[in-house]
Structure 1
């Protein structure tokens, strides 16, 4: 299978004020490179401040890289072309409720990206909204409901519907499964895997939960202080970690699980 998304030597440096007269550069990402194929899932793991969220912002175009390139299907994604990113790379956040405007119906929420990014007429947009709601396990009539009328798990499905309605190629899951209880999380993972096969989606999973990473991803990239310290198939990295930082993450996860059981 050919490479869908290619990241080459991507770096991001923030210039911050040190005192009244001085500024200093803080590197958030340093020369990061990876490839992602269609229908594959790459997990990005690391502690807070490792660069995971910065990478997500660069991929969706919310921030511009200091150096490096992002290519989709071999074509360079221009930093300022947000509409191009919006159509092909979408993101789902951890707390979907905060991303849903409470004054709009679900139909209106899903209609917004269609109005901006397509030439579909009103009837065509309505039909696509209904089909997309069905795809994520909701009902077509839910387009007339408001966000407060849904449970947390249903709101995450609405966020997923908004992410896939433009038929993107890459969907970034930024801790999107973290707030769900185990049963809902399992349902969501199965739904994502089904959609991945149906639509040829590639996923980038940002997660601190190595159990989710183990079950859901094909490859894993471990970040520490904005640098890649380990990168490979999920099974090999989690079963036989090479870097001490990866071993630390796995040990910490095991300790947390033990504490929960006790």
Structure 2
């Protein structure tokens, strides 16, 4: 693995992934993946399509169970636990395919996700969500299935925040969206970062991550091949050409 300083270790580590192997059937997808995420920081997990980004996110969220390794949140090993237990431990997961409840209203989708945080915090309420996502306030009575892809992406992020997570996992939030919506999602992530939320962002689009993330890890063929700050990655032409160029 290449890289100078490990930017993701800056500050207090809130989430640590150590040596996880993940299989889909007989096919091994992740090979000893290691990640560290500093409290209040934003880590971009970058790689081409099929590199293992989404599988890493699913493993952290409990959807893909590792056969080996540990996933530690605030000192608690969550590897192999059910997704609901992991969510209650403070990890919120926004999947790449959005998964809204299409027949329910926007507000019902938000209420479905509502719970107190691990320390009993209720930082994210309906009122705060509507202040942060004014488009959702205007559409609160609309069926989620009638929303555009970008609007659904906003809704899934907001629904996850209603669970008051300490760590927010965003899987390919810019994928398939119009440039103006991608910009809005980027602005939203910057706003969330300023509130102190710890974010792990899985993305193919390095340019999308440049103004959002502080730290970066690059995954290729199920291996973490580079870790540094996002600025360090941007300056490393060899790594960006080898692992991120389309």
TM-score band by shorter chain is 0.7 to 0.9
Between the aligned partners of 1:139 and 1:78, the Cα distance in structure 2 is: 34
Who is 1:225 aligned against? 221
- Residue in 1 that maps onto 2:15: 5
> 1:131 and 1:234, CA in 2 relative to 1: closer, same or farther beyond 3 A?
closer
Output the CA distance in 2 between the equivalents of 1:53 and 1:163. 17
What is the Cα-based RMSD across aligned positions, in Å? Answer: 2.4
Q: Structure 1 residue aligned with 2:169, among 172, 176, 183?
A: 172
Residue 3 of structure 2 is matched in structure 1 by none
More helix by share: 1
Return the structure number with greater relative CO, CA threshold 8 A, min gap 6: 2
Distance in 2, matches of 1:71 and 1:3, equals 10
Q: Give a deviation string over 1:134-184, Cα, whole Å, max 9, x none.
A: 222335463322124433332221111101001101112211112222222
For 2:79 and 2:46, the matched residues in 1 are separated by: 26
Unaligned runs of 5+ in 2: 1-10
1:192 matches 2:189 = yes
Computing the radius of gyration from Cα coordinates, the structure with the larger value is 1
Partner of 1:89: 91
Deviation (angstroms), 1:38: 2.1
State TM-score, norm by structure 2. 0.83
Helix, strand or coil at the partner of 2:19: strand
| TM-score, length basis structure 1 | 0.78
Residue 95 of structure 1 contacts residue 179 of structure 1 at CA under 8 Å; is this kept in 2? no
| Whole-Å separation in 1 of the counterparts to 2:136 and 2:112 | 19
Gaps of 5+ in 1: 17-25, 120-124, 254-262
Match of 1:19 in 2: none
TM superposition outliers: structure 1 runs of 4+ over 6 Å: none
SS of 1:138's partner is: helix
Q: CA deviation at 1:95?
A: 4.1
| Equivalent pairs, count | 230
Secondary structure of 2:134 counterpart? coil
